């Protein structure tokens, strides 16, 4: 019986070592960066979003445009503005047609809102804030 227990423990130890070896490692001296969802919007045409708070030094916009009608006429431009002063901070997206991408913004933490100018396309955006030291298992 002791032999079976010993073999079972060795098998479990081997599985644990294999599982640990498959985990990605952060580079020495660096912290992992994750992305925290902030807000999402969808629409067609021009709009100004509600204000949202960015706490990190970097944030991103995941965006997509679709249903370009008539073909070749779609435009999609997004300006990030300070929600306090209203001044434009950046133009992270200026796109023609149907497509998708991720735009990164490196600016100071503050309240923002987006001004969206869109013609002849449906659009969707999702705002995510960077979180240093983030690990997805921390939410479980």
Burial profile 86-97: b = 16 or more Cβ within 10 angstroms, e = fewer: eeeeeebbebbe
What are the extents of the domains in the chain?
Answer: 34-139
Segment 62-83, tens digit of pLDDT: 999 999 999 999 999 999 999 9
Q: What is the reported pTM?
A: 0.73
> What is the predicted pLDDT for the residue at 33?
77
Q: What is the mean pLDDT of the chain?
A: 82
Segment 1-58, tens digit of pLDDT: 555 544 444 444 443 343 333 333 344 455 677 999 999 999 999 999 999 999 998 9
Judged by DSSP in three states, 133 sits in: coil
Q: What top-level class would CATH report for the domain 34-139? A: mainly beta
Give 138's DSSP letter: G
Give CA angle at 112 (108, 116), nearest 5°: 125
CA distance 85 to 41: 22
């Amino acid at each position: 019986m002791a032999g079976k227990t010993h073999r079972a423990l060795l098998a479990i130890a081997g599985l644990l070592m294999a599982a640990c070896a498959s985990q990605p490692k952060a580079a020495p001296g660096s912290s992992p960066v994750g992305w925290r969802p902030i807000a999402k919007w969808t629409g067609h045409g021009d709009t100004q979003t509600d204000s949202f708070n960015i706490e990190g030094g970097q944030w991103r916009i995941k965006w997509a445009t679709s249903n370009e009608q008539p073909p070749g006429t779609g435009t999609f431009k997004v300006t990030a503005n300070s929600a306090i002063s209203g001044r434009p901070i950046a133009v992270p997206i200026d796109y023609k047609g149907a497509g998708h991408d991720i735009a990164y913004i490196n600016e100071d933490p503050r309240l923002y809102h987006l001004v969206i100018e869109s013609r002849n396309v449906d659009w969707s955006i999702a705002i995510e804030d960077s979180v240093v030291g983030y690990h997805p298992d921390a939410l479980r």
